[in-house]
Amino acid sequence: MKTLMHKRGNLLRGNQRVLTVSLLLATLAACQKNVEKPDAAASEELVSTQATSGGNIIWSENADGSSFLTSGLSLSIQYATTYGITASTAEAFSGTKAARFEIRDTDPESHSGTRAEISFPTPTTNNFWYSYALYMPSAQYKDETDDEVITQWHGGGGITPAISMRVTNGHLVMRTPDDARTDLGTIEKDKWHTYVYHIIHSAGSDGLIEIWKDGQKLVSRKGASMYALTGDFHLPNWKMGIYKSDWNGTKTTSTNQRVLYFDEIKYGKATATYDEMLPVGKGGSTTPTNPGDGSTTQPTQPTSPANGLSVSSFTLVNAATEKDVQTIADGSTISLSKLSLKTANVRAVTAGTVASVKFELSGAQSKSYTDAAAPFALHGDDGSGNYYYGNWNPPAAGTYTLKATPYDSKGVAGTAKTIKFTIAK
């Protein structure tokens, strides 16, 4: 039975540290208030490397050297146990170690929450790149409905972060300032994956969120990506690791442990490029490796067609309200009841001067349709923001494959995009 003694005190509150290993651990012990001393046997030596790279890279970390999280930027290291953030040899995307993050439901709180996170300083400009390689061990990261945040951009104001990457039921879900939740698909466990983010933080229409997983672009979202800078709000600062609010206080869920490995962490300027930010694995490869079996999965690198046309993503649209609901990622599941959705459409997000888009839908329902005017939608529209819904009233439950191919005015095809997804009641 879990009691209040497991969660006494908020540790390390408000402290901003750039510390050596001995000072960090000594400060942690000194600041603990009515909390049992962490089990030293559960921790790993807190050593690795960090060196700012110069040029377009502001900060980088691959966990291999002797100054893990202690140089370059004024980082806030937020955890309450000896096992919270360590350098581990158990898994590595590059070199011999990776940064290991762990929280348990019995952990004392740090910074008013159950967390093991690195918090970067509040920026003074709004355009940055971020990336890392991520490994989720299935034995120590069981699926459950209650979510936790593994990456966030927090703008203060005493409310939930403007952008957060959350894990729920084994899926990565993006939450944005409009409270929309976009399913980015399943996180395949027990193997490394690379994630690259490019974000223009803005409360206006010039905001931008771009996300790539294993070289495949998942998101290209324009519009507000932060809260307006009023009152206590500030430009969002990057935080990464694990934060699970459902374990705050004495609360528990169906799981009791969360372990993640991060490697090749990079923080880049606006002038950085995708190629610079893409995490580099062992032997100079950018291919995520499945440890133990020698197999690899070759990522699909972003490419530009000869005529510059492409479909980058698909957006689910509520045809009753004419509003975007979420980006449809490959492998995602769309719950009609949870979204309160009856009539629906799908819009293709395109790049270049596109004259038409051909949609090919198969599965629970089939359809082939070419939309010759933007916005390009599976069931068409009247050109003024009124989306049709065809026979999706509501969509039939089941699995679907959707392919969209863009064409220029001469009928030359650009780069198509194909996804698989599931509609559930």
User: How confident is residue 410, by pLDDT bands cut at 50, 70 and 90?
Assistant: confident
Whole-number pLDDT of residue 240: 96
**Among candidates 221, 72, 189, 200, which has minimal Cα distance to 129?**
200
DSSP H/E element including 27 = helix 21-31
The mean predicted confidence, pLDDT, of the chain is 82
In the three-class reduction of DSSP (H, G, I as helix; E, B as strand; rest coil), residue 213 is classed as strand
Q: How far apart are CA 399 and CA 397, in angstroms?
A: 7
Whole-number pLDDT of residue 71: 56
Q: How far from chain centre, in Å, is Cα 205?
A: 21
CB-side neighbour CA atoms (13 Å) of 392 = 29
The residues, ordered by sequence, that sit 6+ positions from 126 with a Cβ below 8 Å of its Cβ are 200, 201, 202, 226, 235
Q: What is the DSSP string of 172-184?
A: EEEE-TT--EEEE
The residues, ordered by sequence, that sit 6+ positions from 292 with a Cβ below 8 Å of its Cβ are none
Token pair, residue 113, equals 């929450």
- Per residue in 169-200, pLDDT (tens digit) is 999 999 999 988 888 888 999 999 999 999 99
User: How confident is residue 286, by pLDDT bands cut at 50, 70 and 90?
Assistant: low
**Among candidates 419, 395, 402, which has minimal Cα distance to 336?**
395
Whole-number pLDDT of residue 283: 53
pLDDT at residue 393 greater than cutoff 60: yes
- Residue whose structure tokens are 């698989």: 420
Whole-number pLDDT of residue 134: 97
pLDDT: which is higher, 291 or 344 = 344
- Per residue in 56-91, pLDDT (tens digit) is 999 998 888 766 776 567 888 999 999 999 999 999
Q: Give the predicted TM-score (pTM) of the model.
A: 0.60
Lowest mean pLDDT among 33-47, 61-75, 85-99, 314-328: 33-47
Length of the chain: 425
pLDDT at residue 379 greater than cutoff 70: yes
pLDDT at residue 23 greater than cutoff 70: no
- Per residue in 222-269, pLDDT (tens digit) is 999 999 999 999 999 999 999 999 999 999 999 999 999 999 999 999
Instruction: List the domains of the chain with CATH numbers.
Output: 4-284 (2.60.120.200), 310-424 (2.60.40.10)
